[in-house]
Amino acid sequence: MTEPVITVENLTMAYGDFLIQRDLSFTINRGDIFIIMGGSGCGKSTLLMHLIGLQQPAKGEVFYGGQNFWQTDPQERQKIMRRIGVLFQSGALLSSMTLAENIALPVAEFTDLTPPQIRKIVSYKLALVGLAGFEDYYPSEISGGMQKRAGLARAMALDPEILYFDEPSAGLDPISAKLLDDLIQGLRDSLGATIVMVTHELPSIFAIGTNSVFLDPETKTAIAAGPPKQLLAESKDPKVIRFLTRDAREPGETPMPDPVLDAGASL
């Protein structure tokens, strides 16, 4: 059962004259945990901005289902954006509001639920991410990992079909990162959501990724695509292999087993 949810065709991204990536084409299917990976500064987060409607492509198309995201009129685009949830790198909770108010914000705006119903939904979402009881805390009063989970609760507030994550485990300790991975996988399985993740955490990539695209900063385009494990086993491209095996050596030198990766892959 592969039903394309998002199709990217010949996408070129640039800031003015400065080219970030060109000619990206890939398809994200329903139920995928799709990983956007690549070295630092290759344009992973910029690609995310293009997918969630914060930045317009220099060239090329993004399709949601059959709809052309950037060519359709603003109301239609708003409707598409209603179907997606985004967890930003820092959580991006509104700091002047409590967690409950943050999560209630989209619910109150886009549904006709009564305040008590909204309050119940808020508590349920917080409980899902393991933050039951923290309704009335301000974002500045909780830790970075909790902020991220609260951000996830807000991203899920309207039961989106597609969830975007910008480096979800950056800045988390390995155990919290693992718990977050499990949570993401659990959400995909139980809600039937499609998940798109920007990350360069190898343990996460191998543990939960079902499909991926690899962006290369030097040639400024995607040099590999496919399930991460399959890439590791079959890819011929030395850059991809070095990235996936955490190998800093130039191609040609004999690779050595990496204790950190081995520990990560067995998680």
Partner 1 sequence: MNAVHTPSEWRVERRSDTDVELILTGDWDAENSARMDPQPVLEEIRQCRGTRRVRLTAKELGRWDSVLMVFLITVIDGCREEQLEVDTAGLPEGIRALLDLSYAVPERAGARRGKVRTPWLAEIGNSALRLWDGGKAFTLFLGEVAFAFAASAAGRARFRRIDLWLNIQECGPSAVPIVTLISLLVGLILAFVGAVQLALFGAQIYIADLVALGMTREMGALMTAIIMAGRTGASFAAQIGTMNVNQEISALRVMGFAPLEFLVLPRMLALILVMPVLCLYADLMGIIGGGLVTISFFDVSLTQYINRTREAAHLADVFVGLAKCTVFGILIAVAGCLRGMQCGRSASAVGDAATSAVVTSIVFIVVSDSIITLICDRLGI
If the CB atoms of residues 105 and 183 are measured against partner 1, the closer one turns out to be 105
CA distances in angstroms from 12 to 8, 24, 46, 103, 220, listed in the order given: 10, 7, 11, 34, 10
Q: What is the number of other CB atoms lying within 10 angstroms of the CB of residue 260?
A: 10
Q: If we measure between CA atoms, which residue out of 7, 41, 77 comes closest to residue 218?
A: 41
Q: How far is the CB of 103 from partner 1 (least distance, A)?
A: 11
Q: What is the C-alpha separation between 225 and 130, in angstroms, rounded?
A: 34
How far is C-alpha 27 from the chain's CA centre? 15
CB of 15 to partner 1, least distance (A): 14
Q: CB nearer to partner 1: give 147 or 211.
A: 147
Residue 95 vs 230, nearer CB to partner 1 = 95
CB of 212 to partner 1, least distance (A): 23
Residues in the chain: 267
Q: Report the interface residues with partner 1, using CB under 8 A.
A: 49, 52-54, 78, 81-82, 84, 86, 88-90, 92-96, 105-106, 109-110, 154
Q: How far apart are the first and last CA of the chain?
A: 28
Closer of 135 and 178 to partner 1 (Cβ): 135
Q: Which of 138, 143, 207, 142 is nearest to 178 (CA)?
A: 207
Helix (H) or strand (E) holding 215: strand 211-216
CA distances from 81 to 147, 156, 200 (A): 23, 13, 26
CB within 8 A of 196, min separation 6: which ones?
Answer: 6, 28, 32, 34, 36, 48, 51, 162, 163, 164, 165
Give the Cα separation of 188 and 191 in Å (integer).
Answer: 6
Q: Which is nearer to partner 1, 92 or 179 (CB)?
A: 92
Least distance CB 117 / partner 1 (angstroms): 18
- Of 81 and 232, the one with the shorter C-beta distance to partner 1 is 81
Nearest-approach distance from CB 26 to partner 1, in angstroms: 21
Residue 225 Cβ vs partner 1, minimum distance, rounded to whole Å: 25
Query: Closest approach of Cβ 261 to partner 1, in Å?
Result: 20
* Of 28 and 207, CB closest to partner 1: 28
Beta bridge partners, 195, equal 33, 163
